[in-house]
């Protein structure tokens, strides 16, 4: 894993946007994997600015997001679908039909996961996958102790993740208990991975992730086995290294 320590959140976001844009310049029909959460918001803003400045054209890309709460309607303000359109997709020229998120409204969530996985395969796999990391080491909704081999699946959120995500909802009870999430097996298939990590609260898990030990207790540690990962950290997140 290559790690680059950035001065602050803005520098990390800017550098992250260059990595994404460079992927699209090199391969205009790239398949890009996106993430939600607070960390990539700055990067999405930089990419929108680059698009508006005529520096990058998203018309050929296909997008797949990592995860979605379940059950969750697309129009809910806390759905990841809403997040992505509100902050990113609506402001660039990606084609609507090329945008994919796991379907939080599916009546058969298991089947929806299988279809999602098939669609990624049919599109030729993910060229560049963007990731964040939870305080507990989760990636997407692959929680500590989960299998490292699974593909897109229905998963139960841990109490830790429910507590961390409650800040986006009116109260903790409103946070859905389940999600549809790409599995570590799907994520490890991406050709390139870009992980963004920001803030002091992530410093302890960053230290564990780079410890050299690969363990299901820290799902992010498995990225040590991937041969093309760039981790951009701000100084606060890197403070324990």
Rounded Cα distance, 73 and 97, in Å: 18
Stretch that binds ligand F6R, among 1-9, 33-41, 69-77, 224-232 (CB under 6 A): 33-41
CB of 75 to ligand F6R, least distance (A): 18
Q: In this structure, what is the dihedral angle of CA atoms 116, 122, 125, 127, given to the nearest 10 degrees?
A: -110
Among 17, 23, 30, 36, binds ligand F6R (CB under 6 A): 36
Strands 67-70 and 192-197 turn out to be unpaired
CA geometry: angle at 93 spanning 14 and 9, to 5°?
15
Q: Does 132 bind ligand F6R (CB under 6 A)?
A: yes
CB of 53 to ligand F6R, least distance (A): 26
User: Three-state SS for 155?
Assistant: strand
* Known active-site residue 228: no
Q: How many CB atoms lie within 10 A of CB 105?
A: 16
- Angle (deg, nearest 10), helices 41-52 and 80-87: 40
* Known active-site residue 77: no
| Token pair recorded at residue 41 | 């918001």
Tell which residue, 151, 150, 156, 28, has the closest CA to residue 95.
Answer: 28
CB 206 within 8 Å of CB 241: yes
CB of 172 to ligand F6R, least distance (A): 16
Q: Does 219 bind ligand F6R (CB under 6 A)?
A: no
* Known active-site residue 143: yes
Stretch that binds ligand F6R, among 70-78, 98-106, 131-139, 229-237 (CB under 6 A): 131-139
Q: State the catalytic residue, choosing from 98, 136, 142, 165.
A: 136
| Interaction pattern, residues 80-119, with ligand F6R; x per rule: CB under 6 A | ----------------------------------------
* Known active-site residue 226: no
Query: Which residues are known to be catalytic?
Result: 67, 136, 138, 143
| Interaction site with ligand F6R (CB under 6 A) | 35-39, 66-67, 132-134, 138-140
């Amino acid at each position: 894993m290559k790690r680059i320590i950035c001065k602050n959140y803005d520098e990390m976001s800017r550098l992250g946007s260059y990595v994404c844009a460079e992927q699209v310049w090199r391969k205009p029909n790239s398949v890009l994997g996106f993430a939600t959460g607070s960390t990539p918001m700055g990067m999405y803003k930089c990419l929108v600015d680059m698009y508006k400045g005529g520096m990058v054209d998203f018309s050929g890309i296909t997008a797949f997001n990592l995860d979605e709460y379940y059950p969750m309607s697309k129009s809910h303000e806390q759905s990841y679908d809403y997040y992505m359109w509100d902050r990113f997709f609506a402001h660039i020229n990606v084609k609507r039909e090329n945008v994919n998120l796991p379907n939080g409204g599916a009546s058969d969530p298991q089947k929806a996961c299988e279809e999602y996985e098939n669609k990624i395969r049919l599109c030729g796999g993910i060229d560049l996958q963007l990731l964040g990391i939870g305080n507990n080491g989760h990636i997407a909704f692959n929680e500590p102790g989960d299998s490292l081999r699974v593909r897109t699946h229905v998963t139960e959120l841990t109490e830790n993740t429910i507590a961390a995500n409650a800040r986006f909802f009116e109260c903790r009870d409103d946070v859905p208990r389940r999600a549809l999430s790409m599995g570590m097996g799907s994520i490890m298939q991406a050709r390139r991975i870009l992980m963004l990590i920001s803030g002091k609260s992530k410093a302890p898990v960053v230290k564990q992730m780079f410890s050299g030990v690969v363990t299901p207790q820290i799902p992010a540690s498995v990225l040590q086995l991937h041969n093309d990962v760039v981790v951009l950290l701000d100084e606060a997140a890197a403070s324990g290294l």
